[in-house]
Structure 1
Amino acid sequence: MIDFILNLAWYWWLLIVVLIVALYDIFNKKHIILRNFPVVGHFRYWLESVGPELRQYIVANNREELPFNRIERGWIYASAKNENNYEGFGTDRDIYAHQYIFINNAMMPYKVEKEHISHNEPTFLPCAKVIGAAKGRKRPFRPASVINISAMSYGSLSAKAVDAMNNGAKQVHAYHNTGEGGLSPYHKRGADVVFHIGTGYFGVRDKEGNFSMEMLKKLVKDHPQVRAIELKLSQGAKPGKGGVLPGSKITKEISEIRNVPMGEDVLSPPTHSAFEGIQGLVDFVEQIAQETGLPTGIKAAIGKLEQWEELADIMKTTGKGPDFITVDGGEGGTGAAPPSFADHVSLPWVYGFKDLYQVFQKRNMTEDIVFIASGKLGFPAKAAMAFSMGADVINVAREAMISIGCIQAQACHNNTCPTGIATQNKWLQRGIVVPEKAGRLASYFKKFNKELLEITHAAGYEHPCQFDMRDVDVSIGDTNMTQTLEYTYKYQKTPVPFESMQSLKNCPHLGGK
């Protein structure tokens, strides 16, 4: 009898709750669905909220999703977990699709002798160029890995995510770009670091928000793991667009790292205040390089070329300017951007890079510049294509996030990332076990280098820098005929001086030491 009464009471309470919700829905003035369909209308909004997850695991096919489809994510996950990342029965890609790429293998692959360095260090794959050597910088730097972590700041990523990435990068001798949020304690776990300076000058700004050379010099002096400086002009996902870090997100730690006040919104303006014009940019880059002794470069998305041509002319005439250029594709990721920017502003990497490279190639300047490529290139075949076009190094961002557990929930802008990677929510961050995730990033990088080397050998080369535009075909036109990248994009990459992998190992400027 008591059980019956308790059950009856439970039903009454449920009915009361449903009636309250129904009355609220009927009289609300904001949502048509809820006014017209009380109570049950909530299921529509719930289904919409879990739509990305439903499409990701149930609706979309293996090759359909964007930004990264299930096969791409699966390869990264398997590589990161050191599991079988092969596939059976043959490709399920439409190899006749427009712009499909084919790497031209040699009749006789490159033969790796027993004494070759690849036998002892099968994933040893450093950059073929030394950053800063051409301009005589005091501390030139040869990246010890051709795949490295792109600019992602502490603030957009969680502390544990940055910690795991830096620890993982250390294991594979990759560098870790800080992003524009400054140098955090989590960037100091032992990996080489590229210090990224954005328009907000976070970490190297005075109380008024102006750039401080003295702070930068002290940062470089106190942290020898900082091997290069990158000045951001624009970002692929939102070029020419500033940003706001809400005051509610600024913790005491972030306040101290970025040199910004607590409780106030912090603006990243769309343009720099430390210099004016192209000549000002060149002078600023030279000033940073001279004062710090470090190679200094720029990062930008590519659109109009007039100012790039002006920059190239100044560099050719004076012998001054950036030591490296990071080309960010319009398909690149970001924590938050207006769709109009992410979808339409700036060129995709392949188009932007071929335009920019030719600006410097026409002036015989490509040998003195290290070209860093960024924009969904974290897969061996895509990297081979990038090297054939003139890239020297690959930076990965979202691929690195996926390797430590990102599920592409696309909630980065809401501070509700379910994996704890792109949120400051402490409860969600607790799911990240730093040593475990560091090992996964390292494993992904190792598998990437291993497969890129295997593709390189299949094409008859020892190092990816030896690829040229004739080594990759692309499907073009309605007849699905293929042509080389040289034919398609109307230029041929300038050969990169290369002696041997062993000579790279003996370089005194090699990173990761």
Structure 2
Amino acid sequence: MTIINSIWFWIVCILVVVIIRDVFIQKKHTISHNFPLVGHLRYWLEQIGPELRQYIVANNREELPFNRQERSWIYASSKRENNLQGFGTDQDFNAPGYIFIKNAMMGYNAPADHFSRKNPGAVPANKVIGLHHKRAKPYRPYSIVNISGMSFGSLSAKAIESLNIGAKLAGCFHNTGEGSLSPYHQMGADVVLNIGTAYFGVRELDGSFSMDKLVQKVQENPQLKAIELKLSQGAKPGKGGMLPASKVSKEIAEIRGIEIGKDAFSPAFHSEFTTIPELVDFIERMAAATGLPVGIKSAIGKLEQWEELATYMKKHNQGPDFITIDGGEGGTGAAPHAFADHVSMPFTFAFAKVYQIFQRHELTDKIFFIASGKLGFPEKALMAFAMGADSVNIAREAMMSIGCIQAQKCHTNTCPTGIATSSKWLQSGIDITLKSERFYQYHQTLVKEIADIAHACGYEHPSQMTMEDIEWSMGDNNRTTSLSKALGYNKTPSKFENFNKLFECPYLGGKDARNRLSA
């Protein structure tokens, strides 16, 4: 074989060309100019840095936002593989904020068919949304764990469809995100319609809200069970969003009610209201027009307007039927660094402060509280229930159950798993049948472990957990303190009666899951 035909000859030629280009032609990258070959290797390693750190550098409990142990538990649960842990824990029990759940000497001995009786892993919410304000269509979520708002456009069509079919199997609801209801949200699951500042899907072309379009959407889609008015979200409270023109396809334009080929802006704030009375009036008008319960979603910072809202609700007996409190650690949406890292409080303190405001006004038994912010793990979900949550929403954990590897490329449209991209090629690797089953299995495992731990504490339903059942490590001389002392309140006692009565409720959602299992 001649030297010209040798593969090594051509490799050397390519490397020489790269060196000449970097040293004498390109001026953009100093590293590549000074160190031609090593510089390219450095940029390549930088690109795959998150993946390398996940599996080679970081230890099991180190990486954020989700460490390897957390991700492994989700992956194993979604595949029905062994998700157990051997040889004891590798956690630092003395780390500040470490959660200890206090089990009872003799817990609640659940019947053998506790989960198989109605649906494997099914635990309906203890409260009914919209009953207090006498909405025409009150709603009891079939599951205490549901899918948080993630828009079509931010997530791919196949990812949304996989999650919706999985939600149908599990009986949980699926929040649309502010991108509005897409065809991929209509695979059989209960749906909560999220309305953001741009009023996507229920707007005129000029961006103004259209009540007629909202009513039409509700009438044409009986799977819509509630409306969530998004004031802000954990990743970027007080910051609008923008979908670049390159991603505004004909399909997305039709779903959102925007023009093709133009940047789609989400304002930082709503145009329909600027005061608390106007907010409540807007909620009441939507509830009256659609018959659905209406709630609000918000990240938490200043508390003065929350105090004003509680005072107004107490006086007029009007306002949101549910409140979704999003922790600042939330983050399926891309956000500027400072917003993601420093604006709004983390879930624990955010929820505690808002809950206490409504508790002082004797409203906690009239509002359905949804907790959101990295709560897709049994111990974290149980802490939320102990603090007063009625259900929890999960987002990134749901994404991981269908294959997300935390590559942290959601904002680049190059998600390697096809979950957070519009690329048809990258989406082609998603098997919807397989991925929907994996979400269902993760959801089933999560709910069952939440219930099992509640039983170990002596309760039939997670809503019965109290703040005295959770101890927090203070990181000081091995000292712990109860959640009630650490956060300064005790939640309003649960009015739970009986597990079976939850399934007999006329407002119970998850119809497809119930019909499937009763057949």
Give the TM interval when normalised to the shorter protein: over 0.9
- Give the alignment's TM-score, normalised by structure 1: 0.97
Per-residue deviation at 1:113? 3.3
**Code of the aligned partner of 1:55:** R
5 Å matches for 1:1-150? 3-7=1-5, 11=8, 13-27=10-24, 28-114=26-112, 121-150=119-148
Q: Tell me the alpha carbon deviations over residues 110-144 of structure 1, each in whole angstroms, 9 at most, x when there is no partner.
A: 01235756656441201000000000000000000
What residue number does 1:300 align with? 298
Q: Tell me the alpha carbon deviations over residues 245-292 of structure 1, each in whole angstroms, 9 at most, x when there is no partner.
A: 000011111111011111111100100011221111111011110100
Q: Tell me the alpha carbon deviations over residues 331-362 of structure 1, each in whole angstroms, 9 at most, x when there is no partner.
A: 00123111111000000000100000001001
- Partner of 1:378, secondary structure, is coil
Are residues 45 and 235 of structure 1, via their aligned partners in 2, closer, same or farther at CA, if it must alter by over 3 Å?
Answer: same
Q: Is the 8 A contact 1:117 1:502 kept in 2?
A: no
- Partner of 1:263, secondary structure, is coil
Q: Is the 8 A contact 2:235 2:333 kept in 1?
A: no
Which residue of 360, 378, 381 maps to 1:362? Answer: 360
Per-residue deviation at 1:304? 0.4
What residue number does 2:225 align with? 227
Unaligned runs of 5+ in 2: 512-519
**Code of the aligned partner of 1:499:** E
- Give the alignment's TM-score, normalised by structure 2: 0.96
Which residue of 447, 472, 475 maps to 1:474? Answer: 472
Identity %: 60
- Partner of 1:17, secondary structure, is helix
Q: Is the 8 A contact 1:117 1:501 kept in 2?
A: no
| Greater displacement, 267-276 / 471-480 | 471-480
Are residues 38 and 253 of structure 1, via their aligned partners in 2, closer, same or farther at CA, if it must alter by over 3 Å?
Answer: same
What residue number does 2:159 align with? 161
| Greater displacement, 21-30 / 55-64 | 21-30
Q: Aligned-pair RMSD on alpha carbons? A: 1.3
**Code of the aligned partner of 1:213:** M
Unaligned runs of 5+ in 1: none
Distance in 1 (CA, whole Å) between partners of 2:262 and 2:488 is 51
2:213 corresponds to 1:203? no
What residue number does 2:437 align with? 439
- Partner of 2:31, secondary structure, is helix
Per-residue deviation at 1:478? 1.8
2:243 corresponds to 1:262? no
Q: Is the 8 A contact 2:3 2:9 kept in 1?
A: no
Distance in 2 (CA, whole Å) between partners of 1:144 and 1:119 is 14
**Code of the aligned partner of 1:203:** G
What residue number does 1:400 align with? 398
Q: Is the 8 A contact 1:383 1:452 kept in 2?
A: yes
Distance in 1 (CA, whole Å) between partners of 2:358 and 2:411 is 37
**Code of the aligned partner of 1:176:** H
4+ aligned runs moved over 3 Å, structure 1: 10-16, 113-122
**Code of the aligned partner of 1:21:** V
What residue number does 2:482 align with? 484
Aligned length: 510
Q: Tell me the alpha carbon deviations over residues 348-393 of structure 1, each in whole angstroms, 9 at most, x when there is no partner.
A: 0001000000010011100000000000000011111100000001
Q: Tell me the alpha carbon deviations over residues 163-215 of structure 1, each in whole angstroms, 9 at most, x when there is no partner.
A: 00000000010000000001100000000000000011111111111110000
**Code of the aligned partner of 1:98:** P
